[in-house]
């Protein structure tokens, strides 16, 4: 929490969580792009919000549940590249590196994620680990 009482968003945007990813994670708004969905999904992992992770997962690849590891601490997200995924697109790709720690040991997840828009809503489809 910062001095002014705001909480920096875990997604790395530099913005306040309440104004950045919280509206998406909390269901008050729909992510307008594939990148915004990617960032909000990262924030949901960091905040432990498995319901949002399931709801934002494409119906054709969605698991029955998401298990979050209480020992896992998400510590940073870097967006490397985006392809399409804007408001006028029906598909998009976001390449990212997510950093996390488990029991004090650092790890990196580098992925090119695919997203698809269905009825005006973006969903995480799948990804290739790099």
Convert 74-125 into a string of H (helix), E (strand) and C (coil).
EEEEEEEEEEECCCCCCEEEEEEEEEEEECCEEEEEEEEEEEEEECCEEEEE
Looking at residue 6, its pLDDT comes to: 72
44 pLDDT band, cuts 50/70/90, is very high
118 pLDDT band, cuts 50/70/90, is very high
Top-confidence residue, 2 or 10: 10
- What's the whole-model pTM score? 0.94
**68-83 pLDDT, tens per residue?**
999 999 999 999 999 9
Average pLDDT over all residues of the chain: 95
For the chain, domains (ranges, CATH) are: 22-129 (3.10.450.50)
pLDDT tops 80 at residue 65:
yes
The answer to whether residues 122 and 115 touch, using CB atoms and an 8 Å cutoff, is yes
Looking at residue 91, its pLDDT comes to: 98
Looking at residue 4, its pLDDT comes to: 54
The answer to whether residues 22 and 42 touch, using CB atoms and an 8 Å cutoff, is no
2 pLDDT band, cuts 50/70/90, is very low
């Amino acid at each position: 929490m910062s001095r002014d009482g705001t909480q920096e968003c875990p997604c790395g945007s530099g913005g306040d969580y309440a104004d950045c990813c919280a509206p998406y994670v909390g269901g008050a708004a729909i992510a307008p792009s594939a990148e915004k969905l990617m960032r909000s999904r990262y924030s949901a992992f960091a905040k432990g919000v498995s319901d949002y992770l399931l709801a934002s997962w494409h119906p054709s690849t969605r698991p029955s549940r998401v298990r979050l590891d209480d020992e896992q601490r998400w510590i940073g997200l870097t967006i490397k590249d985006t392809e399409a995924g804007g408001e006028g697109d029906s598909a998009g790709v976001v390449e990212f590196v997510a950093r996390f720690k488990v029991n004090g040991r650092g790890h990196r997840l580098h992925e090119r994620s695919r997203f698809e828009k269905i009825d005006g809503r973006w969903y995480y489809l799948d990804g290739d680990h790099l």
